[in-house]
Amino acid sequence: MPVGKPKIEIDVAHSYDSIVVLDHIKFDVYENEFLCILGPSGCGKTTMANLIAGLLKPSVGTVKLNGELVNPQKHNISYVFQARSCLPWRTVKDNVKIALEIKGISGPVAEEKIANVLQIVGLQEFADYYPNQISGGMKQRVAIARAFCVEGDLLILDEPFGSLDAQTRYVMQMEVLKICEKMKRTVIFITNNIEESVFLADRLIVLSSVPARIIKEINVNFSKPRNVTHPDFLQLRTSISNLSEIAQDAVGGSR
Ligand SMILES: Nc1ncnc2c1ncn2[C@@H]1O[C@H](COP(=O)(O)OP(=O)(O)OP(=O)(O)O)[C@@H](O)[C@H]1O
Ligand SMILES: [Mg+2]
């Protein structure tokens, strides 16, 4: 467990009408930590992401960022939504630029930031392409470049690679690790894929099926990038898949 003052303090429960989706969920996230939330499909992960981003008010409890109630108008939160989010009428470069426009950053400063982040995600040669001219994996890289382009308080990624094939998914996971090494960020990464969570996380929160509650919190201390065939990796992966409450569809992730 990391020490010191948490950056984000989550202590919530949530219902839609009378249906409880999130039971009492309480955990903290620390500065520059890469935290994965792992849970089966439909357990309430996107609901949790929306609560943490301040886009949804919890039925009970609070989300605090730097000690204050989270407020999307005040805090700088980048959110890569589960559905792909590229505007088809804007080029790759202009899709990334949106994040800077919202923050009022323009001119040479903006150009430099965009060039830098496009280079990191390997899209510099595609800057002037439109979304319909690039692959699904490249569109996800655009969304990631946009999220990393502005320095923020928090970066939330909700199953960003869910729709990608296994090979592209692996490339993207490596990409995210590389970006995090170069540009330190506090990241909440949501997935239903055990292998992906063990590959990426500094710390892992495992949720039950709906109504979601935390069934385990795990510090993953292996050095990165991780070898998915290493016995320690495989052992942790198996022990998570053996958690009786993880639904079958959360087990996935063979490469
Ligand atoms: N706005 C809403 N109104 C009513 N019910 C909702 C709403 N949004 C989500 N739900 C319900 O809450 C539950 C959790 O949904 P949520 O999208 O948070 O799950 P998830 O873990 O992100 O699922 P997935 O893995 O498929 O993305 C589901 O049963 C869903 O039908
Ligand atoms: Mg979801």
Take atom 18 of ligand 1 and give the residue whose Cα is closest.
Answer: 44
Residue 91: pLDDT over 90? yes
Task: Give the mutation target among 12, 41, 45 for probing the ligand 1 site: most ligand atoms within 8 A of CB.
Answer: 45
pLDDT average, residue stretch 82-98 = 89
Name every protein residue with a CB atom under 6 angstroms from any ligand 1 atom.
Answer: 16, 21, 39, 41-47, 82, 159, 192, 210
Least confident of 45-54, 147-156, 228-237: 147-156
What does the DSSP assignment read for the chain?
---S--SEEEEEEEEETTEEEEEEEEEEE-TT-EEEEE--TTSSHHHHHHHHHTSS--SEEEEEETTEE--TTTS-EEEE-SS----TTS-HHHHHHHHHHHTT--HHHHHHHHHHHHHHTT-GGGTT--GGGS-HHHHHHHHHHHHHHS--SEEEEESTTTTS-HHHHHHHHHHHHHHHHHS---EEEEES-HHHHHHH-SEEEEE-SSSB-EEEEEE--S-SS--TTSHHHHHHHHHHHTSTTS-GGGT----
| pLDDT digits 0-9 by tens, 166-225 | 887 888 898 888 888 887 889 999 999 999 999 999 999 999 999 999 999 999 999 999
Of residues 3 and 217, more confidence is placed in 217
> What per-residue confidence (pLDDT) applies to 248?
45
Assess whether pLDDT exceeds 80 at residue 77.
Answer: yes
Residue 1 — very low, low, confident or very high, per pLDDT cuts 50/70/90?
Answer: low
Predicted pLDDT of residue 245: 54
In tens, the pLDDT along 31-64 reads 999 999 999 999 999 999 999 999 999 999 999 9
Which domains are present in the chain? Answer: 8-76+151-250 (3.40.50.300)
| The pLDDT of residue 100 | 92
